[in-house]
Amino acid sequence: MELETGYTSWQVDIRIYNDYTQHMFSINDTQSKCDTQLEAISAKVAFERAPLACAPHVPGVDILRGCRVGCLFCPYKWRGVNAGSCQLKVDILDVLESEVSTRKRNGNLAEHVLFNHFSDSFPQNPSARSLAYEVLKVLLENGIKISMKTRGVMPDGFKDLFKEYSSSISVEVDFFTMDEQLAKLYEPCAAHPQLRLDTIRTLLSLGVEVKAGMGPLIPFINDTTGHMEELVRHVRSAGATKAVSYYLYLAKGMLESFEENLPVAHFRLIKGAFRRRPWQQVGIYQMYKFLPVKVRTEGYERLGKIAKASDLLLTVCKCKDPSLGVSCVDKVPDKVHGGDESGQLSLFSVA
């Protein structure tokens, strides 16, 4: 099929995995859990509507639709973004360059974008990875600041670019747990947690601002004091000084997916935790179930104490916990957001 842009439609078989996926699974396991294909699609626009309600001034630029990392708790696949496939916007570089020059002429070029917000910023697929690099290069060369997140490994080929523009890049490196087996269960195609610590080290060595994402927290699964202490200890020893966290929230269809993919005991714990919780509208389209405020507050306070004891500045992400969090895009939490004189957050929004 010929796309309107002149690109030939193709599919990329990603049976070849890089080291870190193979580190987690045997080849057979990997193929059954992580095998997926990228389908070529055409980008309609490069700069998209701001993906975060808590940062309405920050548009998104995404080279992918869908994410092959396949985390069970992913809040995005339930919006139709990740309906079993992963699509690469093969012509996005041309579209981006044209939009940048038009916006520059009109004086409305974005100052800051969220890159690949609905997938992983360091794609494992070589074609997607090259395209990610080229798109980041155009954005950075045009003075645009980038916020991005990953559960992966930073490719070596990105290092020079990140070093040159280190003051314009902020990366959230996300963790569910340091427990390898638990991580494998909930984020089957993400990098091994130890390798994500390496990503933190590499980014910090290049001068890039890094936050450790800790979540989603799930009662009795990864929100115990032991899990929290282990994770805080590791991200601190990798050099992270800031972290952001949130509790699991349910989108429609998520519980059924947990039932299908998790051991019965895990599924029952999660189902029980959300029993009788009402659906709440968030934004215009999304309906979510949140855990009781008491559960979330106590968990955040527990994590906050552990973080504070290790000099880790912790915030709760507002886009993932609208009633208790603060914007996770704001660079440094301050008093307006509840920080105290020492700069340590009280964790919650003032609302």
Count of residues in contact with ligand SF4, rule CB under 6 A: 10
Alpha carbon distance, N-terminus to C-terminus of the chain: 52
The DSSP output letter for 278 is P
CA distance 325 to 234: 24
For residues 158 to 197, the per-residue mask of contacts with ligand SF4, x marking binding by CB under 6 A and - elsewhere, is: ----------------------------------------
CB closer to ligand SF4 out of 196 and 227 = 196
Q: Closest distance between ligand SF4 and the C-beta of residue 311, in Å?
A: 27
For residues 99 to 138, the per-residue mask of contacts with ligand SF4, x marking binding by CB under 6 A and - elsewhere, is: -------------------xxx------------------
Q: Which of these, 93, 150, 90, lies nearest to 116 by C-alpha position?
A: 150
76 binds ligand SF4 (CB under 6 A): yes
| Chain Cα centroid distance, residue 244 | 11
**Are the C-beta atoms of 261 and 221 separated by less than 8 Å?**
no
CA distance 333 to 165: 23
Q: Which one of 69, 244, 251, 328 is in contact with ligand SF4 (CB under 6 A)?
A: 69
54 binds ligand SF4 (CB under 6 A): no
Q: Which stretch binds ligand SF4 (CB under 6 A): 12-20, 65-73, 83-91, 324-332?
A: 65-73
Q: Which one of 71, 136, 197, 251 is in contact with ligand SF4 (CB under 6 A)?
A: 71
Backbone angles phi, psi at 142, to 5 degrees: -100, 15
Order of strands, sheet of 169-175, starting from the edge strand that comes earlier in the sequence: 60-61, 112-115, 145-150, 169-175, 209-217, 242-247, 313-316
CA distance 305 to 206: 30
151 binds ligand SF4 (CB under 6 A): yes
CB closer to ligand SF4 out of 91 and 174 = 174
88 binds ligand SF4 (CB under 6 A): no
The residue ranges that bind ligand SF4 (CB under 6 A) are 67, 69-71, 74, 76, 118-120, 151
